Amino acid sequence: MFQYIIRRLLIAIPVLLGVTIFNFFIINLAPGNPVDMFVNPNMSAADILAKKEALGLNDPLWEQYGRWMGSMLQGDFGYSFATYEPVLDNIAARIGPTLLLMGTALIIAYLIAIPVGILSATKQYSFIDYLTTTFSFFGISIPNFFLGLGAIYVFGIVFPIFPTGGMTTLGSSGGFVDTFMHLVLPAMVLGTAIAGSMVRYVRSSMLEVLGQDYLRTARAKGLREFFVNNKHALRNALIPIVTIIGLEIPLLIGGAVVTEQIFQWPGLGQLTIQSIGSRDYPMLMALNFIAAFTVLFSNLLTDLMYSVVDPRIKYN
Amino acid sequence: MKRKVQKALSMVTMSSLLFLAACNGATETTTKDKSKETGTNSDPNSMFIGLVNPPTGFNPINSGDVAAMFIQKYFQDTLLEMDGPLNFVPRLAESFETTDGQHYTIKIQPNANWSDGTPITADDVAFTINTIANPKSETTQGANISMLAGLEANGKLPEGQTELSSVKVVDEKTLELTTNVPVDPNYMKELFGLNILTLPKHILGDVPVEELAKHPFMQKPTVSSGAYTFAKYEKDQYVELSANKDYYQGAPKLEKLFIKIMPAPNLVAQLQTGELDFNVSKGIGKIAVQDYDTVKKLDNVTASVEPTIGFQTIYFNNNKFDKEIRKALAMAIDRSLLVDKLLKGYGEVVDGPYSSLSPFHDKSAGEIKYNPEEAKKLLEAAGYDFNQTLDLVVPIGNKVREQSAPIIAQSLEKIGVKTKITNYDFPTIMQKGKAGEFDLLLIGFTLTLDPDVSTVYATGAAYNFMSYSDPKMDELLLKGKQEADVEKRKVIYKEILTKIIDDVPALTLYSDHDFAGVNKRVQVGKPKTFGMHADIHQWSVSGAN
């Protein structure tokens, strides 16, 4: 097991290296360059040149990449081209809000999806089943921006219960309650959307297991229906669900671009979009690196989770 | 046993992610003071204004974006302010005088201090100019000092020098500047007086010029020369400013000023809930046109409409279309339709780069009239190939401009000219523009009130994507820039305007008005085209209501 983890981590190194090379050249292929964002009509040609020189944009690409890699290995992701702040400071300031929002949203999604999915599968073709499939269908189909704006309108304007955006009330000193109130709408919007697709996964994976012979055996030996469903069936249905959960962990870091924008949530999604818009190469490289790392890490985590939910799976 | 360990291990890693989230949330939410839990809109000591674009930083000499420059003016004073077209009023400079258009004497307000108590001196201003002129410094301000004597052709200090000979510190509060040739004092006052933000020499004087852009001061300014001091910037959320009690024009009435950042639709929602006192408008805090009626109907809000000097144009690729075809295309575009239907009347049709606010606006210079029949005839006569499809390239960002593209395409379709609209983000537009990879391109400008337009119309200029090149135009542009006499300049720029309308290298589509909602509790302070920052120390809101 321990060896397996080490092996997986070692494999991750060349993968990460490949990802950074690929990203670096793709980002540089995008039309335009960071200095274009500063070219307002009143800026002189000499100033533009000086800026390019200072940002190192006049050097050949492989040299720029080498420089980036060199400092990255020392833990230095460089300075943002747009704000001149250290890249890591910028990311650090946003990772907290993103984790808070996405973490809450995923928890909401699981809390809704798992029980509802099980219920819907065990009562297949009943009224409840049709109701949940219909609602999950809505959850998948309604775009987040629509749900978000709708929520702002209903709960922020018509019934002013929750603030319409931001993370704290300005002028106040914040506090747990204040942040919680700001968190409710965006987390609910995201959570219900994710739950929509989750419900379907849970339902179909439960249905598959419910048809298995060993469940009939369990019932035949007189187990109560509750235990049959929630212990024998659920345990086996969990494997595909864990895969889905694993796939969604990178979301925690990636953030939700649209929802973050609508609710002015200062997360990584917003930062990514801004960085693309301003061709902020160092920032994009760091964001991509973190994303790649999270994907690899969560894949490993998912594989390890398999052996927890299914003892038959062993890694050597 | 082994299984239990596995289980525990996986659980710990799994939950560590969520735990991280909780930790970070907690640091954001430490409570210091619970007295102000209630709504903010009744707080009589704070004002809340709304923006769409987040600022990139607060570097006085290196801010490329309009949002940053707008915000900086609350805590970094310019030497002058303009409270109406070319009407300059004192700011950090008590006086800004010249007798010959070449020698300028600037006197700094005698009681002006940095917010840490250090006097703001002529030395600070000289330090700022020398830093901008240094070839090694990263700056966006170069063009604003380019008129000064002693600079190389590229606007930088000669190799090996660190101080500009034309900048002379006379005494603690007096500075003398000399320009290369006599210039229109208004040109000097607008470019230099309204744009140069002073650097604190006592803080940044010892920082090597190459490292200045990355200095923490540029992100979190520790001293202020303006009515407010910088308190903090929560990324993409808001900038918090506090009153500078020792401000030389008197302490501000507000204790706090918040500049909030949000998408345009939220501006409307927050105006409605009273969470915003006004939206900034000005291209960085604009409400979508379709929301104008909603805002006008709000009980707690009054609408403020102001004409601007900004304008939108359609560039013709001059390498592909000669003058006759350009003229025909221009005549085929129904610009009044854009203003009446798209802008709902909140704008004007303009010919050339000067809106009706500009002292150089001149209707008698000529006019391009909408005339599709005539346009079609012209195209046929010029042998235009009606089978080709023109590439209409549109930058994303300005919604109204994006919406104008299909209307323009329809106008052209009426005379049989086929177009294909493609949207790109701004850096891509810059690349396509510079490379001439377009037939028609939409772009907008807010230039200066000074009539110089060489950045758009001079041969090879930074924004001359049309590849327009005319020796007569180049000569006129240079002449206009170097003429100090206002009346003579008017004659030159009328000639330039006539030539722009006649040659149609590009067609000005419209100049749109700024539209903003202002909460009724606001007593002083609102979005203005000119001099919005002139009275920021007097901004106030009424008490709880």
Where does A123-143 have alpha helices with state H? 127-141
Q: Looking at residue A171, what is its pLDDT? A: 67
**One-letter amino acid for residue B544 of the chain:** A
* Long-range contacts formed by B468-472: CB under 8 A, 24+ apart: B468/B318, B468/B503, B468/B505, B468/B506, B469/B318, B470/B499, B470/B503, B472/B499
Establish if A316 belongs to a structural domain.
no
Strands B301-306 and B440-445: unpaired
* % of chain B residues with pLDDT over 90: 75
What order do you get walking across the sheet with B93-98 strand by strand? B93-98, B103-108, B174-178, B167-171
Collect all residues with Cβ–Cβ distance below 8 Å to B146 and sequence separation of at least 6. Answer: A44, B155
Q: Are B427 and A42 an interchain contact pair (Cβ–Cβ within 8 Å)?
A: no
Q: Are B24 and A93 an interchain contact pair (Cβ–Cβ within 8 Å)?
A: no
- Separation of alpha carbons B3 and A307, rounded Å: 8
pLDDT, one tens digit per residue, over B455-489 is 899 998 889 999 999 999 999 999 998 898 989 99
Q: Tell me the average pLDDT across B491-512.
A: 96
Q: Looking at residue A215, what is its pLDDT? A: 86
Q: Looking at residue A185, what is its pLDDT? A: 93
Q: Looking at residue A198, what is its pLDDT? A: 87
Residues A217 and A257 in one domain: yes
C-alpha separations of B191 from A42, B143, B197 in Å: 9, 8, 11
Domain that holds residue A239: 95-309
pLDDT band of B10, cuts 50, 70, 90: very low
- Separation of alpha carbons B394 and A50, rounded Å: 29
Where does B382-540 have alpha helices with state H? 399-414, 426-435, 454-457, 471-482, 486-503
CA nearest B68 in A: which residue?
A83
Establish if A90 belongs to a structural domain.
no
pLDDT, one tens digit per residue, over B332-342 is 999 999 999 99
- A178 contacts on B by Cβ (under 8 Å): 29, 37
Buried b (16+ CB within 10 A) or exposed e, A176-202: eebbeebbebbbbbbbbbbbbbbbbbb
pLDDT band of A316, cuts 50, 70, 90: low
Please indicate if any CB of chain A lies within 8 Å of the CB of B299. Answer: no
Q: Tell me the average pLDDT across B71-89.
A: 94
Report the residue from A43, A51, A103 with minimal CB separation from B18: A103
Buried b (16+ CB within 10 A) or exposed e, A255-293: bbbbbbbbbbbbbbbbbbebbbbbbbbbbbbbbbbbbbb
Looking at every residue in chain B, the average pLDDT score rounds to 89
Collect all residues with Cβ–Cβ distance below 8 Å to B75 and sequence separation of at least 6. Answer: B58, B221, B224, B225, B226, B227, B228, B229, B230, B241, B244
pLDDT higher than threshold 50 for residue B220: yes
Residues A109 and A209 in one domain: yes
CA nearest B220 in A: which residue?
A85
Q: Looking at residue B193, what is its pLDDT? A: 95
CATH number at residue A305: 1.10.3720.10
Q: Looking at residue A34, what is its pLDDT? A: 84
Residues A132 and A227 in one domain: yes
Q: State the total domains in chain A.
A: 2
C-alpha separations of B545 from A6, B37, B225, B473, B520 in Å: 65, 17, 33, 59, 10
Please indicate if any CB of chain B lies within 8 Å of the CB of A223. Answer: no
Residues A187 and A261 in one domain: yes
Establish if A231 belongs to a structural domain.
yes
pLDDT higher than threshold 60 for residue B14: no
CA angle A161, A165, A167 (to 5 degrees): 100
Q: Are B32 and A173 an interchain contact pair (Cβ–Cβ within 8 Å)?
A: yes
Please indicate if any CB of chain B lies within 8 Å of the CB of A299. Answer: no
Of the candidate ranges A171-175, B8-12, B175-179, B223-227, the one whose mean pLDDT is the lowest: B8-12
pLDDT higher than threshold 80 for residue B30: no
Q: What share of chain A is helix, strand, coil (3-state, %, to 5)?
A: 75, 0, 25
C-alpha separations of A261 from A228, A265, A270, A273, B179 in Å: 45, 6, 6, 10, 47
Q: Cα distance from A109 to chain B (closest Cα, Å)? A: 14
Establish if A194 belongs to a structural domain.
yes
The SS3 call for residue B49 is strand
pLDDT higher than threshold 50 for residue B38: no
pLDDT, one tens digit per residue, over B309-331 is 999 999 999 999 999 999 999 99
Q: What is the pTM of this model?
A: 0.83
pLDDT, one tens digit per residue, over B117-131 is 999 999 999 999 999
Query: Which tokens is B275 given?
Result: 């969470």
Q: Tell me the average pLDDT across B252-257.
A: 95
- Separation of alpha carbons B280 and B304, rounded Å: 11
Residues A58 and A137 in one domain: no
A224, burial (CB in 10 Å: exposed 0-12, middle 13-18, buried 19+):
exposed
CB B133 within 8 A of CB B139: no
pLDDT band of B37, cuts 50, 70, 90: very low
Where does B439-540 have alpha helices with state H? 454-457, 471-482, 486-503
Q: Looking at residue A43, what is its pLDDT? A: 73
CA nearest A34 in B: which residue?
B427
Collect all residues with Cβ–Cβ distance below 8 Å to A28 and sequence separation of at least 6. Answer: A61, A64, A281
pLDDT band of A303, cuts 50, 70, 90: confident
Mutate to test the interface with B, among A49, A51, A84 (most CBs of B within 10 A): A84
Which 26-45 residues of chain A touch chain B by CB within 8 A?
30-34, 36-45
Run of H or E residues at A306: helix A281-309
Establish if A122 belongs to a structural domain.
yes
pLDDT, one tens digit per residue, over B272-284 is 999 999 999 888 8
Residues A160 and A23 in one domain: no
So what's the ipTM on this one? 0.77
pLDDT, one tens digit per residue, over A29-70 is 888 888 876 666 667 777 888 888 888 888 888 999 999 999
Residue B520, phi-psi category: left (phi > 0), alpha (psi -120 to 50), beta (remainder): alpha
Establish if A85 belongs to a structural domain.
no
Q: Looking at residue A39, what is its pLDDT? A: 64
DSSP string of A97-110? HHHHHHHHHHHHHH
Residues A53 and A109 in one domain: no
Q: Tell me the average pLDDT across A19-31.
A: 90
Residue B317 burial (CB count, 10 A): 22
pLDDT higher than threshold 70 for residue B28: no
The SS3 call for residue B443 is strand
Mutate to test the interface with B, among A71, A83, A306 (most CBs of B within 10 A): A83
CA A290 to chain centre: 12
Q: Looking at residue A42, what is its pLDDT? A: 65
Give B107's strand partners.
B95, B174
Strands B389-395 and B440-445: parallel
pLDDT band of A226, cuts 50, 70, 90: confident
CB B277 within 8 A of CB B518: yes
CB A32 within 8 A of CB A276: no
Please indicate if any CB of chain A lies within 8 Å of the CB of B398. Answer: no
Residues A101 and A58 in one domain: no
Report the residue from A37, A79, A171 with minimal CB separation from B427: A37
Residues A158 and A276 in one domain: yes
- Separation of alpha carbons A5 and B439, rounded Å: 57
Q: Tell me the average pLDDT across B348-353.
A: 95
Q: What is the number of residues in chain B?
A: 545
Run of H or E residues at B312: strand B311-316
Residues A46 and A106 in one domain: no
Establish if A238 belongs to a structural domain.
yes
Establish if A10 belongs to a structural domain.
yes
Query: Which tokens is B54 given?
Result: 């987040």
Query: Which tokens is B475 given?
Result: 């000569």
Which 167-206 residues of chain B touch chain A by CB within 8 A?
191, 195
Looking at every residue in chain A, the average pLDDT score rounds to 86
Q: Cα distance from B372 to chain A (closest Cα, Å)? A: 33
Residues A69 and A122 in one domain: no
Please indicate if any CB of chain A lies within 8 Å of the CB of B36. Answer: yes
Residues A167 and A26 in one domain: no
Q: Looking at residue B369, what is its pLDDT? A: 94
